[in-house]
Amino acid sequence: MEYQKGALVLFNNVVTNYGNAYNKITGSFTAPYHGLYFLTLYFMTTKPHSSLLGIFLNNERLCTSYAGSGGATGAHEVATCTTIKELKVGDILNVKAVYSQAPAILYKTDVNMKNHIGFVGFLYKTL
């Protein structure tokens, strides 16, 4: 998958979406409850491409992670960012490309159906 700087990263292969809080058309997760949420993003790219992706809350960056272009030609780089954050009902989360070597190439799924990019969020505790 290719992404330019500032682009929303969409996750079309949604494994679990209890309550339909994630909208795979817009790429937005809307918090259904006030509480503490566990959030993590992971992705993989390959040389010579590099990417900086982030989790955004109401368009403000919560965390970012960088998969660089170091290593041997064709080498894969992986990255992750994880945070626990208080969300209020209606808060909106997105994953965006903060920086990319135009364009960033991210691995979505290989032939064995193993996901190499994903976003996980769940309610840890209601407040």
Per-residue confidence (pLDDT) for residue 42, from 0 to 100: 82
Distance CA 1, CA 118 (A): 13
Q: Are 82 and 63 in contact (CB under 8 A)?
A: yes
Count how many domains the chain has.
1
Per-residue confidence (pLDDT) for residue 105, from 0 to 100: 56
Distance CA 62, CA 114 (A): 26
Digitized pLDDT (tens) for each residue of the chain, 127 residues in all: 566 677 788 777 778 888 889 898 898 999 999 999 999 988 777 666 677 788 999 999 998 887 776 665 556 777 789 999 999 999 999 998 887 665 555 555 555 445 677 788 899 999 9
105 burial via Cβ count (<10 Å: 0-12, 13-18, 19+): middle
CATH number, domain containing residue 16: 2.60.120.40
Domain of residue 99 covers 2-126
